[in-house]
């Protein structure tokens, strides 16, 4: 998976508004449910990740992403985990303008349509 499905962006952004001042990341599991993982809960997540193939590399990238996103204000790392072991890790922030948000969703939808 190269990016979150466009249908997930709305729920990710809604959660981002709720937790914008907290330190942590947004996690999307195979059930397509978004949740917030605070810094205090991060040890458990990293431990589970390291138990999977390529999990150590992902855990390292996640830690780097967390440290970089702290400087970006309301941006948070987003980790999308698939059952097959695939994942997407990126940083998503609260969109400044409503039209930019819709342009981003339209762009991701076009990319998704090309990959299907």
Q: Quick: pLDDT tens for 20-76.
A: 888 889 998 877 788 999 989 989 988 888 887 778 888 888 888 888 776 666 678
Q: Is residue 76 part of a domain?
A: yes
In a domain, 1, yes or no: no
Residue 93 lies in a domain: yes
Residue numbers of the domain that contains 93:
6-115
Residue 36: inside a domain, yes or no? Answer: yes
CB 80 within 8 A of CB 1: yes
CA-nearest of 94, 70, 81 to 13 is 94
How many separate domains does the chain show? 1
> At what angle are helices 6-19 and 98-115 packed, to 10 degrees?
140
Model confidence over 81-113: pLDDT tens digits?
877 777 888 888 776 555 565 666 667 777 777
């Amino acid at each position: 998976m190269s990016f979150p499905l466009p249908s997930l962006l709305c729920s990710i952004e809604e959660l981002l508004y709720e937790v914008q001042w907290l330190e942590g990341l947004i996690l999307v599991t195979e059930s397509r449910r978004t949740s917030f993982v605070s810094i205090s809960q991060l040890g458990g997540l990293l431990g589970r990740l390291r138990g999977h193939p390529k999990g150590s590399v992902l855990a390292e990238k996640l830690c780097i992403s967390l440290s970089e996103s702290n400087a970006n204000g309301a941006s948070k790392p987003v980790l999308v985990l698939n059952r097959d072991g695939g994942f997407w890790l990126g940083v998503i922030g609260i969109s400044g303008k409503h039209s930019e948000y819709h342009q981003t969703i339209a762009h991701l939808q076009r990319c998704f349509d090309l990959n299907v």
